[in-house]
Amino acid sequence: PGKPLSQMEKFMAKANEIGVEDPRKVIHSMKVGLTITLVSLFYYFRPLYAEDFEVLSSMSTLMTVVAVFEFSVGATIGKILNSGLGTLVACGLGLAARHLAHFAGRTYESIILGTLVFIQAAATTYVRFFPKVKARYDHGATVFMLTFCLVSVSGFEMDEMVKWLQDRIVSVLLGATICVMVSIIVFPVWAGEELHRLVARNMENLGSFMEDLEAKCFTASKEGDSRNGESFFVGLNHVIDSKTNLENLVNFARWEPSHGQFRYFHPWKLYLKIGKLTSQCACRVELLNAYLNSTTQTPGDVTLPGAATSKCPHSRVFNFRDSHKAPQELRATFQEASSLLSLECGKALKELAWSIDTMIKLPSPSRHVTNLTIASDNIKNLLNSDSWEGWADSSQTILLVGVASLLTDIAFCVKTIDEAVNKLG
């Protein structure tokens, strides 16, 4: 008897978790509830069976609200435009199909209609396999298919048909207007703002990760490290994996009217570009992380790690602190340069994230980007100098060079991101 209860508890815990994580989801549910109640009651007080077409149009309005009301304003407007466009085009083509079939005479009418319906349905279904159509016009395709069939095949006379269409269009418009009003006026969730925040947050996370990496791997040991590697690794995965989410948000944001600091023709594509650059940079930082933390197993210490553990089982091999085999001066110079560059990359990323978040333009080039260029040039000079020539065979040389060149590579990425952010202005 305890089982359904514990199931219920789990359910409530999950519901609570979702609500706490993003309270706007609770508000959104309230908004949908309110809208649907309004529409329902509107029809409750105008009995449905009063007129022939009322049943249909009440259903249309409700269907519109249920189908169209999405979490963000952009997604809602996008679906409404899809519905509207789909309905209009379908009505036009459907009526044309009827006329065509009508001219052909009684005998061929059904054959022609059938053929046209078949072509339409097959073509629409096929077009939905296009990735771009799938992403933006999927709902419109469904509405188009349904409306075309109803219009072309229905047995209505022409005047009935026109009345039916009018009714349907009015009811869809009614539903759409209510949805847009509620979605914009009551605690709106803008896809554009979400996109903006996601891009800034990803960049900020990447910056923090780099600063953290610097603190853990390049500077002298501080035992009181407050952050733990596991959770940061997860954060980086989020940054790398957010591509689908970014693309969805860009698709939604382009439907949104001006709001707050965002004009109608806000360069959403540029956000997508910055997001992708950030994710590319995150890939390189992950590689650097793997480099710095890869296996240090010395002979006699080889254990087969379990595949079940989600974390990479290798402990840190290559740690500047422990690299007592490289010559002291060389080590110190490289450590300092790498540490500086890594720190500046992290700071520059955080600064850029701040600039995106607050929409305050940075001076170009900004302080940290300048520092980063100097630090990067410094490392390149170090690599080109002959101060370490005698040590080319040393056990640490290859790793030193590897880390240093990855760092200059990351610095280049950060500079590219800086350029893209400056274009945002």
User: What's the closest the beta carbon of residue 126 comes to its own copies, in angstroms?
Assistant: 4
Smallest distance, Å, CB 223 to its own copies? Answer: 25
- State the Cα torsion 41-44-50-54 to the nearest 10°: 40
The count of residues interacting with its own copies (CB under 8 A) is 106
208/295 with CB nearer its own copies? 295
Tokens linked to 180: 């847009």
Q: Beta partners for 412?
A: none
d(CA 259, CA 266): 10
* Site for its own copies contains 385 (CB under 8 A): yes
Half-sphere exposure of 425 (CA within 13 A, CB side): 8
Select from 85-93, 154-162, 171-179, 194-202 the region that touches its own copies (CB under 8 A).
154-162
Q: Which of 2, 105, 299, 363 binds its own copies (CB under 8 A)?
A: 299
Q: Which of these segments, 145-153, 180-188, 227-235, 252-260, binds its own copies (CB under 8 A)?
A: 145-153
Nearer to its own copies, 226 or 244 (CB): 244
- The DSSP output letter for 320 is G
Q: What single letter denotes the amino acid at residue 187?
A: F
Footprint (CB under 8 A) of its own copies, residues 155-194: 155-156, 160
Does residue 365 have a cis peptide bond before it, meaning omega lies within 30 degrees of 0?
Answer: yes
Shortest distance (Å) from residue 389 CB to its own copies: 8
Per-position x/- string for 63-102, each x denoting binding to its own copies as judged by CB under 8 A, each - no binding: x--xx-----------------------------------
Write the binding mask 255 to 274 for its own copies: x where contact by CB under 8 A, - elsewhere.
--------------------
- Does position 315 interact with its own copies (CB under 8 A)? The reply is no
Residue 307 makes contact with its own copies by CB under 8 A: yes
C-beta closer to its own copies: residue 171 or 262? 171
Tokens of 278: 């950030």
Of 81 and 383, the one with the shorter C-beta distance to its own copies is 383
Give the nearer residue to its own copies in terms of CB position, either 109 or 357. Answer: 109
Closest approach, Cβ 308 to its own copies, in A, equals 8
Options 150, 173, 174, 270; binder of its own copies; rule CB under 8 A: 150
Q: Does 13 bind its own copies (CB under 8 A)?
A: no
Minimal distance, residue 255 CB to its own copies, in Å: 21
- Residue (49 or 265) nearer to its own copies, CB: 49
How crowded is residue 410: how many other Cβ atoms within 10 Å of its Cβ?
Answer: 25
Partners of 262 in beta bridges: 259
The span from the CA of 10 to the CA of 13, in Å, is: 5
Closest contact distance (angstroms) between CB of 28 and its own copies is 7
Residue 153 touches its own copies, criterion: CB under 8 A = yes
4 class by beta-carbon count within 10 Å (0-12 exposed, 13-18 middle, 19+ buried): exposed
62 binds its own copies (CB under 8 A): yes
Report which DSSP code applies to 104: T
Please give the structure tokens belonging to residue 279: 């994710």
Residues 23-52 that bind its own copies (CB under 8 A): 25-26, 28-30, 32-37, 39-41, 43-45, 47-49, 52
Residue 53 or 257: which CB sits closer to its own copies?
53
DSSP state of 109: H
Nearer to its own copies, 57 or 335 (CB): 57
402 binds its own copies (CB under 8 A): yes
Q: Out of 100, 112, 173, 383, which residue is the one contacting its own copies (CB under 8 A)?
A: 383
Q: What is the DSSP letter of 112?
A: H
Pick one of 57, 87, 152, 338: the residue that binds its own copies (CB under 8 A): 152
Whether the CB-CB separation of 391 and 356 falls below 8 Å is answered with no
Q: Which is nearer to its own copies, 111 or 359 (CB)?
A: 111
- The Cβ of residue 137 has, within 10 Å, a number of other Cβ atoms equal to 20
CA–CA distance, 152 with 140 (Å, rounded to integer):
18
> What gap in Å lies between CA 375 and CA 379, rounded to an integer?
6
DSSP label of 259: B
Burial class (CB in 10 A: 0-12, 13-18, 19+), 20: exposed
358 touches its own copies (CB under 8 A): no
Q: How far is the CB of 229 from its own copies (least distance, A)?
A: 16
Helix, strand, or coil (residue 365):
coil
CA–CA distance, 101 with 153 (Å, rounded to integer):
10
Tokens of 257: 């009217």
